[in-house]
Amino acid sequence: MIQYASIILIMLGLYGLLTNRNVIKIIISLNVFEIGLNLFIISVGYVDGGLAPILTGNSTSVLSFVDPLPHALVLTSIVIGVGTTALGLAFAKKIYAKYGTYEIDEMGVE
Amino acid sequence: MKKVLSLLVVLALGFGIINSLNQNSSFPKFGEADVSDRVSDRYINKNVTEENEEVIFGEDGYETGSSNFVTSIVANYRSFDTLGEVTVLFISAFGVALLFSKDSKRVSLNFKPNFMLRVGSRALFGLIIMTGIYISVHGHLTPGGGFPGGTMIASSILLLYLSNDSFRTKIKGFKLLEGFMGSLYVLIGVAGIYVTGYFLENFLDTGVVGDLFSAGIIPIVYVIIGLKVGSEIASIIDNFLTEEVS
Amino acid sequence: MNPVLLIAIPLLFAFLSIMNKKFARPLLLVALLLDVYLVFTISKGLYSIGGFSQYGINLLVDQYSLIGLMVVNVVFFLTVVTNCKEVKRLSTVLLVALAGVNGLLLTNDLFNLFVFLEIVGISAYLITSGNKRPLATFNYLVQGTVGSGLYLLGLILLYSMTGTLNMALILPTIVDKAIPLSNLALPFMLMFIGLGVEAKLLPFNSWVKGVLQNANALTSVLIAGVFATTIALTFGRLLSTVFVLGSISNIVLVILAVTMLAGEVAAFASKRIREVLLFSAIAQSGLIILLFANGLVIPAIMLIIANIVSKYILFTITGKMVDGTKTDEIESLQGVFSKNKLVGFAFTVASLSVIGLPLFFGFIVKLNILTSLFSQYQLFLSALILVVSLIEGTYFVKLLIKLWYSVGEVKTFKVDALVKVVTLIFALGLIVFGVYTKPLTDSLMTVPEEMMEAIAERGNF
Amino acid sequence: MINILSIVISVLLVILAFLAVSSKTLSKSIVYLSALSMLSVLGFVVMKAPDVAVTEAVIGSGLVTALFVFTLLSSRKVVK
Amino acid sequence: MFSIELVVLSTLLAGVLAYIVSIKLPKLGSYLTILASLAVFSVLAYFGFNNNLDAEVNLIPQFVLFKTSMFGLYFAIIVSFIFFMVSFFNPYFIKDYKYPAAYNLFYLMALAGTIGVFFASNFITLFIFFEIVVWTSMFLIPLGKKRKPTVTYFVFSTVGSFAMLYAVMFTFSITGSFDLAAISVLSGKSALLVYILLAVAGFAKLGAYPFYVWLPKVLGKSPDPVSAVFSGGIEKLGAFIAFMAILRISPASIYLEAVGMYLQNYVIAIFGAITIVVGTLQAIRQDDAKKLLAYSSASNGGYILVAIAMSSSISLTGAMYHILAHALASTAAFLAIAVVHYRTKTTKISELGGMIHHMPLTYMVYLMAIISMAGIPPMGGFISKWLIFQAVINKQMIIVAVATFFGSIGSFLYVFRPLAALFLGQKLPKYKGVKEAPFLMMIPLIILTLGSFYIGVIPNQVIDFSNKVIAEFGFGPLLMNEFGIQGANGTLSAPIIASVFGLGVVVIAIIFFILPKSRKVGLMDTYTSGEFIYTEELLHYSADFYAPFERLYPAKPLISKVYAMIKEKVNELGRFFKYWFFTNKPEVTVLWIVLILTLLVWGDIL
C-alpha cells in the first residue's frame, strides 16, 4: 500500500512541477518527488515480517531482516536531496533579489 | 483546466506505473522481496568473499564488526558512495556560500534574545550536541549515524545562533573543521591503498560485533562524517540567515 | 597507479582549498596537473574500493574509460588554464567537478554513478551560476534533479529485479534469471530519460538554452565540452553494456533522431553565435547517443573526440569574442576574424571539421559513422544524418563567411597568446588526425571487446 | 494492525502531498511539506528502516523546513 | 614515369608554399600559382599522352587509391589546362582580394582536388577529393562582390556530394566494395537508387535543371578568374560523375522502343533538354555579362547531359568534345569579360559600350569564343554540336531535338548581346582612358582562342583521344578518316568547312577593305528627330535588344522560389522547435517526461 502511495507521491511531485509557476513551490514539489522516491526505494527492500537491519542479541534467522541496501541508498539520497534543496533555495533567494518576486510569470522575459 | 488536465495525465501515469509493476513478473510484490537473491545478503552476512555464514551477535572476526547493517553498508561496503554524498553536501554548502555575496549581513530577527532564551539555549546546546555526537559515535550499533548526528550538532549551533548575535564570526572557524574532516576522510581512504591495497579498505581490527570499539574504521568515519556534515549544515544555515545588503 | 587517485586527489584538494582561499587556484592547477599525469600512467584493470570484489564498488579502467579520461582531463586542464581569470572563486567547485567527472568515467556501479552524476550536476549548476541568470540555472537545477531522480527510480527497479548494482553483473543476471525484456522497459526508459536530461536530449533539454546562451568561455566549454563528453561516455557505457533497449528502442530512436534534427534546425534559425553553437552541440550529442544506441561504439568515440576538440575551439573563441566585443549577434560580429586571423583559422578548422569536410578529423568520423551505419543497413538513419549535416554545414558556412568578411565597421577583440596557441594546436590536431588517423583507429579497435570482457568476467577479479 | 496503519499513512501521505503541491500560500505549503516529511518518517518506521527514519526526521523534516522558513523570512524583509 | 600521387601532393604543397609566400608578397604568390598549374598541366599532358602515369600510392595513407584511365586523363588535362590558363589572371586580381594568401592556397588546393577526383580508383577517394574541391573552391567565392553565393554554392554542392556519398555507401553495403567498378554489379531497385543519386550528384555539380540556380549566383558574383575556373573547370566534375552514373549503371527498366533507349536515360535527356531551354531563356534576359555567361554554362551542361544520356558512340564523342570545346570557349569568354571588368570595373551590359576601340584583341577573343559557343564553324563548338545533333536526329527524339535546336538558336541571341553592347556600339566618354589587356592576360586569351580554333579545324586528335575514352565504357570508336567524321546521316569534314568559312571571311575582308569605306563620324556629329545632340547619351539599343522577351517571363528562375520556400520552411521549423522545446521552462521537460512515460506504460493498451 505504501508502495502505491509512494508512486502517487512521485506523480504528485511531477504534477506540482507541471502546474506551479512559483520558485518556492517548485522546490516544494521537488521535495515531494524526493520523499515519494525515498519511500519507494525503501518499499522495494521491505520484507513482510522482516526485522530492522540491526543485529541485536536476540536476532537469529538471517533471512528475517529487511533488505538494508536500499536504506543505505536512501540515506545518500536524502542527503543529496538536502543539498539540492539548499542550493535551489539559494537560487530562489538570488532570483528574489533580482526580480523581487518568486512568481516566474511576473519576472518578464529574460 | 490546465491543472485538472495535468493531474489526470499524471495520475494516469501513476496508475500506469503501478499497473505495469503489478504485471511485472520479475518485480517483487510489496513485502515479498527476496533478500537472499540480492547482493545485500552478502552484506547481512558480512561476507562477500567467502561462503555465506550466519553472523552471530557478540562474536568477532567478521569483515565489518558493525551490528547495524545499514551502517556497515554506508561506511564500509559502499563507503565510496558516502564520500560522494558528503562531497555533494560539501559542494552544496560551498555553493550556497558562493551564491550569497560577501557583503551580506545577518537577518535581523524580530525579537531580541532575552535572558531565558540565552540561558535555555545554552543548556539545550550542550544536550543537543551531546546527543548528536552520541548518535554519530554509535552509528554502527544503533540507528542514526553521522548524518543525523551531524545535523543535530548543526542545530545546536543554530540555537547559539538565535541566542547570540555576535556568534556569526565564530562560524567561519567551521570552514577549517569542514575542510579538515573532508581531507581526513579522503586520507583514510588513501591510507587504505597503502595498507591493504584498496581505497577505503577497513584496515583496522573489526572487533566484536556489538561493542562500541568495534567495526574498524566505521565509527571513525562516522564521526568524521558527523562533524563534517555538522559544519556544512551550520554554514548553510548561516548563509541562509544572511541577506544581501542592497 | 590506482585510478581512484584520479578522484581522491581532486577531492582532497577541494577539501583543503576551503581552508584558505588563497591556495584554491594553485591547488586546482596542481590537482589538474597531477590528474593529467596520472591518466597517462594508470594501468587497465578492475579496481575495487574497499576490497569487496564484485559486491562492493569497483572502478573499471579499460580502453574505453582510458580514452575518455585522457580526453576529458586534458581538455579540462586546458580549459582552466586558458580561462584562468574566470575561475575566480570557482576553484573548489572545479576541483569537485573534476573528481565527479573522473568518477563518472571510472565507476562500475549504478548507484555510485548516480552520486557522481549529482556531484557533476551540482558543480554544473554552480559553474553556470556565474552568468547572473539565476532563473536559468534554477531551471537547470530543477530539471537536473528530476532527471537524476528518475534515474534513481529506474535504478532501484533494476535492483529489485536483478539484486545487484554492479554494472558488469546486470546483463549476466538478466540472462541468468531470464527476465523478459518487457519487464525491463520501464527501468531502462526511466534511466534513459534521467541521463537524457543531462545529455541534452531533446524533449528533456529546455535548460540548455538558458544556461548556455549567456555563458562565458569557461562555462560553455565545461558544460558543452567536458561535461557533455563525460555524460555521453557514461551514457555510452550504459547503453552498450547495461541497457537492453528491446521494446523501447523505437521510442529511444525517435527521441534521438528528433534531437538531432531539432538541434540543427534550431541552430539554422538562430541569429546569435552562442545559440548556434549550443543548438549544434545538442544535435551532436543526439548523434553520439544515437550511435551508442545502435551499438556503434567506435564511431561514437571518434565523434566524441572530434566533438570535444572542436567544441573546445569554438566555444573558447566565441567566449573570448563575446567578451571582447560585448555582443553575440552574428550580424554585429561580421568580419571579426579579419583582425584575428590565427584565431579565425582555428575557428574555421573546427567548424569545417564539425561539418565533416575532408582533410579534417570530422570527415574521417563521418565516413566511419556512415560506413558502420550502412553495414547495419540503416538506410533511413544515414539519410537523416546526411540531411542534418547538410543543414549544419549551411549555417556553419554562413557563419564563417560572415565572421571573415565584413560589411562596414569591424569590431575587435583581444585574445591571450595562450588561448591562441592552444586553439591552434587543437586545430592542427584536427588536421593531422584528419589526414593520418591510424594510431587513433588502432587504439579504438579493442574498445568494444574490452567493454564486453568485463561483463563476461562478471566483474570478478 | 500494521496494514491499517499503513493504509492510513498512505492516504494521509497522498492528501498531504496534494495539499503541499497545490496549496495557494507558500507558508501553508511548507507546513504541509513538513508534515508530509514527518509522516514519511512513520512510513519508514513501518517499513523497518530506523536509520532512514532518524535521518529523515532530522534532516528531511527538520533541516529542510528550517531552510524553507529562513528563505521566506529573508524575502519578507526585502518586500516590507 | 610520374606518379599521380606526387602530382596531387606537390600541388597541395605548392599551395601551402604560395600561401606562405603570399602572406608578405601576394603578387609573387600568384606567380607561383601560374608556375604550379603549368607544372601540373605539362606533367599530366606529357606523361599522360605517353601512358606513363603511375597510379601507385605510397605516401597518402589509408583508403586513397588512384588509377589511370583515359577517361580521367581527358578530364584532368582539360581542367588543369583551364586552371593554368586562368592563373595568368591571378597577379592582376590578387590585390583586390581581402585574403590574397588564402586565394592562392585554395586555388591550388582546388586544382589538386580536381586531379584527385579524375584519377580516383575507388569511390572514397573520389568523394574525398570531390569534397576538397567543394570547400576549397567555396572559399574562393566570397573574395568577390558578395558573400551569399558561397552558401548557395555550398548547399547545392553538398546536396550533390551527399547524394553521391549515400550512393557510394549504399553500393558498399550491398557489394562490400568501394571500387568504382562496383556500381556496375548492382541490379534492380538498388541500381536504380544509385543511378538516381549519382545523377543528382552530377546534376548538382554541373548545374543542370533543377539545380542550376547556383551557377548564375556563383559565376556572376565571384571574382572573375574564379568564375572562369568554375565554368571551364570545376563544373566539369559534374559531367564526370554523370558519365559514370549513366554509363556504368544499368538498372533494369522499361526500354523505350521509339527512341531506342532506357526510360531513365530518356528522363535524363529530358532534364538536359529542360536545362538547355531554361538556361537559354534566362541567359537572354540577363543584364550582367557574367550572369549571362553563367546561364549559358548551364545550358551547355544540358547539351552534355543530353549527349551522355543517348549513350551511343557518336553522342558520347559529342559529349566529350563538347566538354573540351565549352571549357575552352567559356573560359575565354569569361576571361575576356574579366579583362573588361579589370579595366572598367563593371560587367553590366547597360553601362558599357564601344570597347572594341579600346581592346580589339579582347574583342576578337570574345567573338571567337561566342562563335564556338553558338556552334558556328570553324570553332570547336561547331563540331561538338554537330555530333550531338547527329545523335539526336538518329535517335529521333523530337522533344530533345527541338530543345537542342532552340538552345542553339537562343545562344546566337544571347551571346550576341554582350558582343554588341560591350564591345560594339557607342564609345562611352567615361571609359576614355581604357587600355587593351595587359600582356600577361593576353597569353591565355590567345592560347584559348587558338585552341578553340584548332579543335574546330582539325578534330582528329581529339576524336582519337575520345575514342579511347569511350572504348573504356565499351563503345565502339567513331569512324573517322583523314578528312571527316563519319556521322549517322553524313560525313563532317571540318577542314573543308573551315576552309570554306575562311574563304568567306577572306572574301568579306577583301570587300570590306577594298571597297570604299564609310566615314567615321564623331558621337555628336549626328542628329535625331531633327535635333542635334549635345550630350553623350547612350544611343544604341543592344542593352534592350530582347525587351519583348522580358515581358514574357521573369528574370529570376521560378525554381529559385521553391528553394527560398524550403529555406523559409527550415527556418520556421527551427523557430517552432525553439518555441516548443528550448523554452527554458522546467515544466516543458517534465511534461514531455510524463507524456513519454505514459506512452510507455499504457502503450500496450492504447
d(CA B99, nearest CA chain E) in Å = 21
pLDDT higher than threshold 50 for residue C368: yes
CB within 8 Å of chain E, chain C residues 376-395: 377, 379, 382-383, 386, 389-391, 393-394
The beta-strand segments (E) located in chain B are 104-106, 242-244
Split at pLDDT 50, 70, 90, the class of D80 is very low
Provide the pLDDT for residue E46. Answer: 86
Provide the pLDDT for residue E571. Answer: 87
d(CA C30, nearest CA chain E) in Å = 37
Provide the pLDDT for residue C218. Answer: 85
Q: Residue D70: its chain B contacts at CB < 8 A?
A: 107, 237, 240-241
Query: Which helix (H) or strand (E) element contains residue E517?
Result: none
For A48, which residue in chain B has the nearest alpha carbon? B31
Q: Which residues pair with E485 in a beta bridge?
A: E480, E492
Instruction: Supply the range of the domain harboring residue A36.
Output: 2-48+63-107
CA distances from A79 to B72, C168, E393, E454 (A): 18, 27, 87, 89
Is E53 in a helix, a strand, or coil?
strand
Each residue's pLDDT tens digit, E56-104: 777 766 677 888 888 888 898 999 999 999 998 888 888 888 888 888 8
Provide the pLDDT for residue C349. Answer: 92
Split at pLDDT 50, 70, 90, the class of B63 is low
Does the distance separating the beta carbons of E135 and C357 come in below 8 Å? yes
pLDDT higher than threshold 70 for residue E482: no
Helices (H), A21-105: 23-45, 68-99
- Across C3-37, b (16+ Cβ under 10 Å) vs e yields bbbbbbbbbbbbbbbbbeeeebbebbbebbebbbe
List chains touching B (3+ CB pairs under 8 A).
A, C, D, E
Answer whether residue A58 is part of any domain: no
Provide the pLDDT for residue C351. Answer: 92
Question: What percent of chain E is modeled with pLDDT above 70?
Answer: 92
Q: Cell match 577541494: residue?
A: C14
The alpha carbon of residue C3 and the mean position of all alpha carbons in its chain are separated, in whole angstroms, by 20
Q: Residue B91: its chain C contacts at CB < 8 A?
A: 14, 92-93, 96, 119, 122-123, 126
- The rounded distance, in Å, linking the Cα atoms of A8 and A14 is 10
Higher pLDDT, A54 or D17: D17
Number of H helices, E strands in chain B: 8, 2
Question: What percent of chain B is modeled with pLDDT above 90?
Answer: 0
Each residue's pLDDT tens digit, C127-177: 888 777 888 888 889 888 999 999 999 999 888 888 888 888 888 888 888
Q: Considering CB atoms only, which of D50, D55, D66 is closest to B147?
A: D55
Higher pLDDT, B58 or B7: B7
B237 reaches A (C-beta below 8 A): no
Does the distance separating the beta carbons of D67 and B236 come in below 8 Å? yes
- Look at residues C50, C59, C55, C54 and name the one whose alpha carbon lies nearest to residue C7: C59
Q: Residue E590: its chain A contacts at CB < 8 A?
A: 14, 17-18
Q: Residue A10: its chain C contacts at CB < 8 A?
A: 149, 153
Answer whether residue B108 is part of any domain: yes
pLDDT higher than threshold 50 for residue D79: no
Provide the pLDDT for residue B79. Answer: 82
Q: Residue E599: its chain C contacts at CB < 8 A?
A: 251
Split at pLDDT 50, 70, 90, the class of C224 is confident
E332 contacts E366 by C-beta, under 8 angstroms: yes
Residue E484 identity (one-letter amino acid): G
Each residue's pLDDT tens digit, E143-165: 877 888 888 889 998 999 899 99
Q: For residue E7, give every residue at least 6 positions away whose Cβ sits within 8 Å of its Cβ, in sequence order, or none.
A: E40, E43, E44, E112, E115
For D62, which residue in chain A has the nearest alpha carbon? A82
- The rounded distance, in Å, linking the Cα atoms of E372 and E378 is 8
Residue B60 identity (one-letter amino acid): D
List chains touching E (3+ CB pairs under 8 A).
A, B, C
Does the distance separating the beta carbons of A88 and C141 come in below 8 Å? yes
- Considering Cα of E144, then E147, then E152, then E155, what sign does the dihedral take? positive
Instruction: Supply the range of the domain harboring residue D21.
Output: 2-79
C326 reaches E (C-beta below 8 A): no
Q: Residue B215: its chain C contacts at CB < 8 A?
A: none
- Look at residues E245, D17, C7 and name the one whose alpha carbon lies nearest to residue A37: D17
Residue E369, all three cell numbers: 569564343
Q: Which residues pair with C60 in a beta bridge?
A: C46
User: ∠ CA C187-C191-C195 to the nearest 5 degrees?
Assistant: 175
Split at pLDDT 50, 70, 90, the class of A37 is very high
Residue C5, all three cell numbers: 587517485
**Residues B130 and B196 grouped into a single domain:** yes
Q: Which residues pair with C107 in a beta bridge?
A: C59
Q: Residue A110: its chain E contacts at CB < 8 A?
A: 584
Each residue's pLDDT tens digit, A56-92: 766 555 557 788 888 888 888 988 898 899 889 888 8
Provide the pLDDT for residue E71. Answer: 87
- Report the pLDDT averaged over residues C204-225: 82
- Look at residues C455, C425, C458 and name the one whose alpha carbon lies nearest to residue C345: C425
Count the Cβ atoms, other than its own, within 10 Å of residue E471: 14
B107 reaches D (C-beta below 8 A): yes
d(CA B25, nearest CA chain D) in Å = 22
Does the distance separating the beta carbons of D47 and A2 come in below 8 Å? yes
Q: What is the CATH number of the domain that holds A75?
A: 1.10.287.3510
pLDDT higher than threshold 80 for residue B246: no
Provide the pLDDT for residue E437. Answer: 75
Provide the pLDDT for residue A109. Answer: 57
C173 reaches B (C-beta below 8 A): no
Question: What percent of chain C is modeled with pLDDT above 70?
Answer: 99
Provide the pLDDT for residue C73. Answer: 92
Among the listed ranges C320-329, E241-250, E352-361, E384-393, which one has the minimum average pLDDT value?
E352-361
Split at pLDDT 50, 70, 90, the class of C436 is confident
Does the distance separating the beta carbons of C112 and B81 come in below 8 Å? yes
Q: What rounded mean pLDDT belongs to chain C? A: 86
d(CA A88, nearest CA chain C) in Å = 7
Count the Cβ atoms, other than its own, within 10 Å of residue E202: 29
**Residues B101 and B205 grouped into a single domain:** yes
- Report the pLDDT averaged over residues B53-79: 70
Each residue's pLDDT tens digit, E307-338: 888 888 888 888 888 999 989 998 998 888 88
Each residue's pLDDT tens digit, B164-199: 666 665 666 777 787 888 888 888 888 877 777 777
d(CA A104, nearest CA chain B) in Å = 17
Residue E559 identity (one-letter amino acid): I
Is E196 in a helix, a strand, or coil?
helix
**Residues B20 and B89 grouped into a single domain:** no
DSSP E66: B
- The rounded distance, in Å, linking the Cα atoms of C424 and C345 is 8
Each residue's pLDDT tens digit, E197-240: 988 898 888 888 888 888 888 888 888 888 888 888 888 888 88
Each residue's pLDDT tens digit, C422-434: 899 999 999 888 8
Q: Which residues pair with D45 in a beta bridge?
A: none
- The rounded distance, in Å, linking the Cα atoms of C368 and A64 is 55
pLDDT higher than threshold 60 for residue B104: no
Split at pLDDT 50, 70, 90, the class of C101 is very high
pLDDT higher than threshold 60 for residue B111: no
C4 reaches E (C-beta below 8 A): no
* Total domains in the fold of chain B: 2
Among the listed ranges B92-96, B209-213, C12-16, C56-60, which one has the minimum average pLDDT value?
B209-213
Provide the pLDDT for residue C350. Answer: 92
Higher pLDDT, C407 or E43: E43
Size of interface B-D (CB pairs under 8 A): 53
Split at pLDDT 50, 70, 90, the class of B245 is very low
D21 reaches A (C-beta below 8 A): yes
Answer whether residue B48 is part of any domain: no
Q: Which residues pair with B104 in a beta bridge?
A: B244
* Total domains in the fold of chain A: 1
Tell me the domain boundaries of chain E.
254-480, 563-602
For D18, which residue in chain B has the nearest alpha carbon? B7
Provide the pLDDT for residue D78. Answer: 46
Instruction: Supply the range of the domain harboring residue B29.
Output: 2-33
Does the distance separating the beta carbons of E129 and C193 come in below 8 Å? no
- Across E320-340, b (16+ Cβ under 10 Å) vs e yields bbbbbbbbbbbbbbbbbbbbb
* Total domains in the fold of chain D: 1
- Report the pLDDT averaged over residues B5-10: 87
- The rounded distance, in Å, linking the Cα atoms of C111 and C109 is 6
Among the listed ranges C189-203, E88-102, E244-258, which one has the minimum average pLDDT value?
E244-258
- Report the pLDDT averaged over residues C336-346: 86
E218 contacts E175 by C-beta, under 8 angstroms: no
Residue C368 identity (one-letter amino acid): N
Answer whether residue B59 is part of any domain: no
Higher pLDDT, C455 or C147: C147
- Look at residues A82, D50, D58, C156 and name the one whose alpha carbon lies nearest to residue B71: D50
**Residues B159 and B231 grouped into a single domain:** yes
Count the Cβ atoms, other than its own, within 10 Å of residue E528: 8
Does the distance separating the beta carbons of B237 and D62 come in below 8 Å? no
- Considering Cα of D70, then D72, then D76, then D78, what sign does the dihedral take? positive
**DSSP calls for E348-392:** BGGG---HHHH-HHHHHHHHHHHHHHHT-TTSHHHHHHHHHHHHH
- The rounded distance, in Å, linking the Cα atoms of E400 and C246 is 55
- The rounded distance, in Å, linking the Cα atoms of C292 and C299 is 9
Q: What rounded mean pLDDT belongs to chain E? A: 82
Question: What percent of chain D is modeled with pLDDT above 90?
Answer: 0
